[in-house]
Structure 1
Amino acid sequence: MMKTYNQNLPVNFIVMIVTVLLISIVMLNSCTKVVDIKVGNDTDKLVIEGMVIDTAGSQSVKLTTNVPFSNSNTYPPVTGAIVSVNDGNGSTYNYIEGPSGIYTSPAFVAKAGNNYTMHVLVNGTDYTASSRMPELVVLDSLSSKVSPFDSKQREVTVYYKDPAGKANYYRFVMFLNGVQVKAVFVFNDDFNDGKKVSIDLSDDDTDMFSGDKVTVEMQCIDKSIFTYWNTLMQQGGSGPGGGVTPSNPPTNISPSVLGYFSAHTSQKKSMVLK
């Protein structure tokens, strides 16, 4: 016997079925749609990367121009600039160029609490930036452990004691077998003021295995530099010279250019991953 179906379905039910089908079609089409992310391509702009640190050796300012986001890591140097740094206590250090685009000072050791001001004169424009060096927070130690995502890979953990009662900002720079890892690691003490802190440093694009040598530099940075690097970290960026980012981070240099000037402490520890 041939099976028959009720032809008198409620109109609301039919409308509901049609609506579900239409939504399904739209969702299927959206799955195949190509999303075009537009990345800025404003190139040939001045990039200033300046820093003073609290360890012996030459202080440096690097001047380059930026390149398209997809280009290789080759950045044209900016030569012939006049560069100096004032320590806020009456001493000015004039920098000397060499090699091209790298300007260094006679050796001086920057001190915590001093407010340092950089001047860079390029093509008639005087670019200035100030940064106050924070007090040193000691990097206690490093350890390594098995990655929770891959038993063959390792993660690095840093340990330090955050001082209580004041805002502190930190940047960590990691080197794997002598090569700097591109990932940006910055943190504040909003949730661990005055506590013993342990932070895992891991990067999805970096493979670390037992036997690799890792060096970690801990920098105590001021708030403006934290804002700069935190913006880059949120974007997944790697630094001011790394092409044009989707949104260039806020700089402390005036007039505004790409880059930063940072007065920060610097301490390093190394270990072989187990």
Structure 2
Amino acid sequence: MKTKNISFSTALMMLLLPVIISCQKVVDLKLKDASGQLVVEANVDNNNTSIVKLSQNVAFTSTNTYPPVSGATVTISDQSGKSYTLSEGIAGNYSSGQLQGISLNTYNLTVQTGGKTYTARSTMPPAIALDTITAKNDEFNNGKDRKEISVSYFDPAGIKNQYLFLMYVNGVQVNGIFVYNDDLTDGKHVTAQLRQDDIDVYPGDVVKVEMQCIDKANYTYWFTLEQQQQQGPGGGVTPSNPPSNLSNNALGYFSAHATQTKTIVVK
């Protein structure tokens, strides 16, 4: 199948379903030609942010506009049974300022639209501290003063952890997907390079990094997208929609994650 772009916060190179929304986090999605399928981009975090974006996939040959899905009933409930109904603001965007996620709690998403019900579940992992963001000379800078960004954190021992990083340069989110687990770094201090060739970073630029602690299902989702992105258009492998934790053949994801950000001015 061919792919088609959808707007959701930056531009991704390969077949991409959404990146996490936090206020105005957006990623350019590329989906298989599955016209009419519901696309769900749903997030709960520990900073009192609950945002769900609903849209509808269109055929590859259609205009690059994915119609928002309005008038849906969107609820998120916690493991105690307390339920929050999200309100629609901008067409297709549903939010609640009352639900603050708590680590180790499980959250259930229910979307009712078009006579169908879609559900998903996600458990928020413990928050892990993002220690530092650093900038060093890019080893492939070809004589330019271009910088490369790295992050460091300590991975707790004996606990399975998965991480997703979002990076912004002067307020613009880069296209790269940066996802890690601790299969080889359990209990260690980790330094990870956020390699990307979308936006050059130079001294004086403001770089913000968001670190999300995500569950295993969302790690699988983002890791699949990362692998397809790295293969590029000539990778020789037919892209496919990544595995989703949503029911009823919906596209996208539901992520309950602990998050934090740090910002530096590059020197």
Q: Does TM-score exceed 0.5, indicating one fold?
A: yes
State the percentage of identical aligned residues: 47
Determine if contact 1:48/1:62 at 8 Å carries over to the other structure.
Answer: yes
Deviations 1:97-137 (A, max 9, x none): 11100011242211001000000001111100000000011
Residue aligning to 1:87: 78
Aligned partner of residue 109 in structure 1, secondary structure: coil
Aligned partner of residue 230 in structure 1, secondary structure: helix
Amino acid at match of 1:42: A
Residue 152 (str. 1) matches residue 145 (str. 2)? yes
Residue 125 (str. 1) matches residue 126 (str. 2)? no
Determine if contact 2:179/2:226 at 8 Å carries over to the other structure.
Answer: yes
Counterpart CA distance in 2 for 1:71 and 1:152 is 42
Mark the runs of 5 or more structure 2 residues left unpaired by the alignment: 4-31, 231-237
Amino acid at match of 1:186: V
Q: Over the residues paired in the alignment, what is the CA RMSD in angstroms?
A: 1.9
Query: How far apart are 1:210 and its partner, in Å?
Result: 1.5
Amino acid at match of 1:122: T
Counterpart CA distance in 2 for 1:185 and 1:196 is 17
Amino acid at match of 2:123: R
- Residue from 201, 204, 208 that aligns with 1:215: 208
Query: How far apart are 1:78 and its partner, in Å?
Result: 0.6
Residue aligning to 1:112: 103
Counterpart CA distance in 2 for 1:44 and 1:214 is 37
Residue aligning to 2:172: 179
Query: Normalising by the residue count of structure 2, what TM-score does the alignment of the two structures yield?
Result: 0.81
Matches within 5 A, 1:199-238: 199-236=192-229
Determine if contact 2:125/2:215 at 8 Å carries over to the other structure.
Answer: yes
Residue 138 (str. 1) matches residue 129 (str. 2)? yes
Residue aligning to 2:188: 195
Structure (1 or 2) with the greater helix fraction: 1
Query: Normalising by the residue count of structure 1, what TM-score does the alignment of the two structures yield?
Result: 0.79
Determine if contact 1:93/1:106 at 8 Å carries over to the other structure.
Answer: no
Residue aligning to 1:11: none
Query: How far apart are 1:38 and its partner, in Å?
Result: 5.4
- Of 69-78 and 260-269, the range deviating more from structure 2: 69-78
Query: How far apart are 1:190 and its partner, in Å?
Result: 0.6
Aligned partner of residue 229 in structure 1, secondary structure: helix
Aligned partner of residue 232 in structure 1, secondary structure: helix
Count of residues in correspondence between the two structures:
230
Counterpart CA distance in 2 for 1:69 and 1:168 is 36
Residue aligning to 2:23: none
Counterpart CA distance in 1 for 2:145 and 2:115 is 55
Amino acid at match of 1:47: V
- Residue from 41, 47, 60 that aligns with 1:55: 47
Query: How far apart are 1:185 and its partner, in Å?
Result: 0.7
Residue aligning to 1:34: none
Structure (1 or 2) with the greater strand fraction: 2
